[in-house]
Amino acid sequence: MQYKLIAIDMDGTLITSDKKITDRSIQAMREAEAAGAYVVLASGRMAANVKVLAKSLGLHSPAICGGGSQVVDKDYHLIHTCYIQPEIAKQVLEVCKAENLYVQIFEDGNYIFQRHTPSTDIYHEISGLNPIEDPNLFEREKIDTPKILIIEPPERLKEVQPMLTERFPMLNIGRSRPTFLELNNPQGNKGVALKVLAEKLGLQQSELIAIGDNQIDASMIKYAGLGVAVGNALDEIKEIADYISADNDHEGVTEVIEKFILGK
At residue 219 the predicted structure's pLDDT band, cuts being 50, 70 and 90, is very high
- Whether the CB-CB separation of 31 and 44 falls below 8 Å is answered with no
Cβ count within 10 A of residue 97: 14
Helix, strand, or coil here: 203? Answer: coil
Q: How confident is the model at residue 125 (pLDDT cuts 50, 70, 90)?
A: confident
* Amino acid symbol at 117: T
> Per-residue confidence at 240, pLDDT binned at 50, 70, 90?
very high
- Section 182-209 average pLDDT: 96
Q: CB within 8 A of 9, min separation 6: which ones?
A: 42, 43, 190, 211, 212, 213, 214, 217
For residues 6 and 3, give the distance between their C-alpha atoms in angstroms, rounded to a whole number: 8
Is residue 194 within 8 Å of residue 7, measured between CB atoms?
yes
Helix (H) or strand (E) holding 72: strand 70-72
Q: Tell whether the model's pLDDT for residue 128 goes beyond 90.
A: no
In order of start, what are the domains of the chain with their CATH numbers? 5-81+188-261 (3.40.50.1000), 86-184 (3.30.1240.10)
Query: What would the mean pLDDT of 106-133 be, rounded to a whole number?
Result: 90
Phi/psi for 39 (5° steps) reads -110, 100
Contacts of 38 (CB under 8 A, 6+ apart): 4, 5, 6, 61, 62, 201
What is the rounded average pLDDT for all residues in the chain? Answer: 95
Kindly report the number of other CB atoms within 10 A of residue 34's CB atom.
Answer: 9
pLDDT at 203 over 90: yes
Dihedral sign, CA of 94, 95, 97, 101? Answer: negative
* Count of CA atoms in the C-beta half-sphere (13 A) of 18: 3
Cα–Cα distance measured from residue 162 to residue 211, given in angstroms and rounded to the nearest whole number:
25
Q: How far apart (Å, rounded) are the C-alpha atoms in residues 45 and 58?
A: 18
Residue 109 has pLDDT above 80, yes or no: no
Of the candidates 203, 229, 207, the one whose C-alpha atom is nearest the C-alpha of residue 218 is: 229
CA quadruple 169, 170, 172, 173: dihedral, nearest 10? -40
- The answer to whether the CB of 216 falls within 8 A of the CB of 81 is no
DSSP symbol at 13: T
Tens of pLDDT, residues 16-56: 999 999 999 999 999 999 999 999 999 999 898 899 999 99
Question: How many other β-carbons are positioned within 10 Å of the β-carbon of residue 138?
Answer: 15
pLDDT at 48: 87
Report pLDDT for 248: 98
Please give the model's pTM, rounded to 2 decimal places. 0.85
- In the predicted model, what is the mean pLDDT of residues 68-89? 95
Distance CA 127, CA 123 (A): 6
Tens digits of per-residue pLDDT, 141-179?
899 999 999 999 999 999 999 999 999 999 999 998 899
Could you tell me the pLDDT band of residue 5, with boundaries at 50, 70 and 90?
Answer: very high
- Give the pLDDT band (50/70/90) at residue 210: very high
pLDDT over 90 for what percent of the chain? 90
Cα separation, 234 vs 253, in Å, equals 16
CA neighbor of 243 nearest in space, from 223, 220, 261, 221: 221
